[in-house]
Amino acid sequence: MIEAHELTKRYGSKVAVDHLTFTVRPGIVTGFLGPNGAGKSTTMRLILGLDRPTSGSVTVDGLPYAQHRDPLKVAGALLEARAVHTSRSAYNHLLALAVTHGIRRSRVDEVIDFVGLDQVARKRAGAFSLGMGQRLGIASAILADPSNLLLDEPVNGLDPEGILWIRTTLRELADEGRTVLVSSHLMSEMALTAEHLIVIGRGRLMADMPTQELIARSSGQVVVVASPDAARLREALAGPDVTVTDAGPDRFEVRGLAAGAVGAIAARVGAVLHELTPQQASLEEAFMTMTRDEVEYHSHPIPPETAGGAPDRSAA
Amino acid sequence: MTSPTLAQRPASTTRPSDVRVGRVTFGRVLASEWVKFRSLRSTWWTLLIAVAAMVGISALISWARNARWSQMPPREAAAFEPIITSLRGVDLAQLAIAVLGVLLISGEYATGMIRSTLTAVPKRLPVLWAKTLLFAVVTFVSMLVSALAAFLVGQQLLASHGTTLSAPGAVRAVIAVAGYLTLVGVLAVALGFIIRSTAGGIATLVGLLLVAPGLGQLLPSDWQPHILPYLPSNAGAAMYTVRADPTLLSPGRGLLTLVIWAVVAVVAAAVLLRRRDA
């Protein structure tokens, strides 16, 4: 269980994490979602005591991480930036970590086997591909069989098979009663992996709710209707809370009425229906709507060249 | 890069069984630092260079002195002292030790390894103590053996101009050279923690050990006796010099001065390590 209370981190004048309060519960996979630069990695570093909070606090299983006597047993982490000496072999890297907690050597071989790095375990980690580096990171995260797992963008650089493997592994770990916090900027990935979502933007908490609820809430109520009797049906649907917008010939979108209600009205006025589709927003859309104003680096369209040349150019 | 077979096989679906996990103790942190120390090839190369410098350069100087004995200018001949001559490799060995000391920690900051280290030992300070202790022991043992070898080889090569280990000050000089290099090593580890970058740490140490004594000569001459003897390299020279030198401290005060340098650096490193973000 990870509990953050009013967690805040400033770097100079820049606020990376802004009064975050949340709880990550055991038994489920919690997605930690936000655009790049939203403060996900900083929050993870604060949880692990790598960075000191400017104010507020965060505990892992009831204590600040650094106060645990067997920290690796409490939390295992895969941090986004590589945390491995490039000239050391994967085996020795894991062994050095294991030795700090008196973990037997054979455990190192076991986790290496588990992540599938046994053939390269004696090679220098600097020669690893991104995907292999991620696997090594996962091996170090599970080394001491921790009750909390923090994984920062774990699917980065993994092939489809590796991604599937991560998903299953995370589910299993959560099913065993562990707390699993996985960050990502990929909403589609989180929709498949996480049961609960914590969404942040510019360091602030934007949502903390079950994945399904987040999707449902952001969907609004949009029903796509196609009918040869479009004009008549639109008239019948009109009401104070209902908006109807065009969506092509004989097609329109209805906001403010459920699909069933639209169908009932169509039957009453005798309008033929070719299509009646309730739209569910994807998590992607939900997220985009929510964080539109919170992304740090927007891309702006390049203004088109003015035809005929700019007037000030002739003056020069 | 090295081999075309550098590939991963599919990950396993059965997770490894239970494991017993103990508490983090200082002994375990020390053991972990030893794993890290021995598992980098650069460690052994740099240490080998220190040994080679200590023994090889000392032997070369001893041999040259003896071979050119008759051509030696009178002033040099008067200043000749066989014990120091056979230990002159210390000047180069200190650089290798300084580089290795800085690298032990700057290498972790450069690669990101420090995040793994401090996640395993989030109390942080045991890492500083363990690295410092480990490197001090490794340096003292390896340099004591090297200095003894340098002395014995050097006296052989000095032939009739040489002396023996039973000469007054000989044993003290051999031990003091190892002690000086050990304290330089401690200073280097501490500076590595403070500065974090390899280039910055090494530049600072070279400045302190080699450049500062030269620059000090530019000071007003009545200031010099109050500053120059307290520089680390001069304090070290005081420790192992056999013939009394009025510009240097006594061996005991030289040792004390260098210990103070090392302690101040380690304390500064400890304060910063606790306070800063990793």
Tracing tokens 């100079």 back to the chain, one arrives at: A12
For an interface test with A, the pick among B19, B37, B104 (most A C-beta atoms closer than 10 Å) comes out as B19
Is-contact A117 A139, C-beta < 8 A?
A: yes
The A residues from 117 to 136 touching B (CB cutoff 8 Å) are 117-120, 123-124, 127-128, 131-132, 135
Characterize the bridge pairing of strands A14-24 and A196-201: unpaired
Across A8-24, average pLDDT: 94
Please tell me if residue A100 touches chain B, with a CB cutoff of 8 Å.
yes
Beta sheet of A14-24, edge-to-edge order: A14-24, A2-11, A55-60
- What single letter denotes the amino acid at residue A199? V
- Among A36, A48, A67, A61, which Cα is nearest to A7's? A48
Strand boundaries in chain A, DSSP class E: 2-11, 14-24, 29-33, 55-60, 75-78, 148-152, 179-184, 196-201, 204-210, 222-226, 243-246, 251-255, 275-279
B82, burial (CB in 10 Å: exposed 0-12, middle 13-18, buried 19+) = buried
Which of B35, B122, B275 lies closest to A66 in CB terms?
A: B122
pLDDT, tens only, B88-114 = 999 999 999 999 999 999 999 999 999
Closest-CA distance, A196 to chain B, in angstroms, reads 24
Closest Cα in chain A to B12 = A114
Half-sphere exposure of residue B10: CA atoms within 13 angstroms, side-chain side: 7
Closest-CA distance, B33 to chain A, in angstroms, reads 7
pLDDT for the residue A240: 81
More confident residue, B82 or A289: B82
Is-contact A274 A228, C-beta < 8 A?
A: yes
pLDDT bin (cut points 50, 70, 90) of residue B5 is very low
Task: Tell whether the model's pLDDT for residue B236 goes beyond 60.
Answer: yes
Closest Cα in chain A to B108 = A85
Task: Tell whether the model's pLDDT for residue A309 goes beyond 60.
Answer: no
Please tell me if residue A172 touches chain B, with a CB cutoff of 8 Å.
yes
Is-contact A118 B143, C-beta < 8 A?
A: no
Closest Cα in chain B to A79 = B115
Please tell me if residue B70 touches chain A, with a CB cutoff of 8 Å.
no
Closest-CA distance, B8 to chain A, in angstroms, reads 5
C-alpha dist (Å) from residue A88 to A108, A121, B46, B58, B244: 15, 10, 16, 33, 47
Rounded-to-integer distance, Cα A195 and Cα A180, Å: 11
Max CA separation in chain A (angstroms)? 79
pLDDT bin (cut points 50, 70, 90) of residue B121 is very high
pLDDT for the residue A58: 97
Which of A64-68, A241-245, B85-89, B199-203 has the least mean pLDDT? A241-245
For chains A and B, CB pairs below 8 A equal 170
Q: Do A101 and B31 touch (CB under 8 A)?
A: no
Across B34-40, average pLDDT: 97
Please tell me if residue B21 touches chain A, with a CB cutoff of 8 Å.
yes
Which of A34-43, A284-293, B173-182, B200-209 has the least mean pLDDT? A284-293
Task: Tell whether the model's pLDDT for residue B1 goes beyond 50.
Answer: no
Residue ranges of domains in chain A, CATH in brackets: 2-216 (3.40.50.300), 221-280 (3.30.70)
pLDDT, tens only, A111-158 = 999 999 999 999 999 999 888 999 999 999 999 999 999 999 998 888
Which of B11, B31, B278 lies closest to A165 in CB terms?
A: B11
Q: Which residues of B touch A145 (CB under 8 A)?
A: 18-19, 21
pLDDT bin (cut points 50, 70, 90) of residue B23 is very high
pLDDT for the residue B59: 96
Q: Do B15 and A169 touch (CB under 8 A)?
A: yes
pLDDT for the residue A308: 45
Across B83-91, average pLDDT: 95
pLDDT for the residue A152: 93
Closest-CA distance, B153 to chain A, in angstroms, reads 36
The DSSP secondary structure of A255-288, one letter per residue, reads ESS-HHHHHHHHHHHT---SEEEEE---HHHHHH
Q: Do B24 and A172 touch (CB under 8 A)?
A: no
Closest-CA distance, A105 to chain B, in angstroms, reads 11
Average pLDDT value over all residues in chain B: 92
Which of A83, A123, A132 lies closest to B116 in CB terms?
A: A83
pLDDT bin (cut points 50, 70, 90) of residue A314 is very low
Rounded-to-integer distance, Cα B191 and Cα B204, Å: 8
C-alpha dist (Å) from residue B160 to B59, B64, B73, B88, B156: 15, 14, 18, 19, 9
| Pair of tokens at residue A195 | 């049961």
Task: Tell whether the model's pLDDT for residue B52 goes beyond 90.
Answer: yes
Q: Do A120 and B7 touch (CB under 8 A)?
A: yes
- Among A226, A229, A245, A82, which Cα is nearest to A152's? A82
SS3 label, residue B69: helix
The B residues from 111 to 150 touching A (CB cutoff 8 Å) are 111-116, 118-124
| B181 Cβ contact list (under 8 Å, min separation 6) | B50, B90, B93, B94, B97, B139, B140, B143
Closest Cα in chain A to B275 = A52
Closest Cα in chain B to A146 = B21
Across B184-194, average pLDDT: 97
Across A39-62, average pLDDT: 95
Rounded-to-integer distance, Cα B270 and Cα B194, Å: 9
Phi, psi of A243 (to 5 degrees): -120, 140
pLDDT, tens only, A218-250 = 656 678 899 998 888 988 888 887 888 888 888
pLDDT for the residue B29: 98
Task: Tell whether the model's pLDDT for residue B171 goes beyond 60.
Answer: yes
A6: left (phi over 0), alpha (psi -120 to 50) or beta: left
pLDDT for the residue B4: 38
- Among A186, A168, A107, which Cα is nearest to A139's? A107
Is-contact A111 B16, C-beta < 8 A?
A: yes
| Pair of tokens at residue A13 | 């004048």
pLDDT bin (cut points 50, 70, 90) of residue B76 is confident
Average pLDDT value over all residues in chain A: 86
pLDDT bin (cut points 50, 70, 90) of residue A313 is very low
Across A261-267, average pLDDT: 90
pLDDT for the residue A282: 62
Closest-CA distance, B111 to chain A, in angstroms, reads 5
pLDDT bin (cut points 50, 70, 90) of residue A301 is low
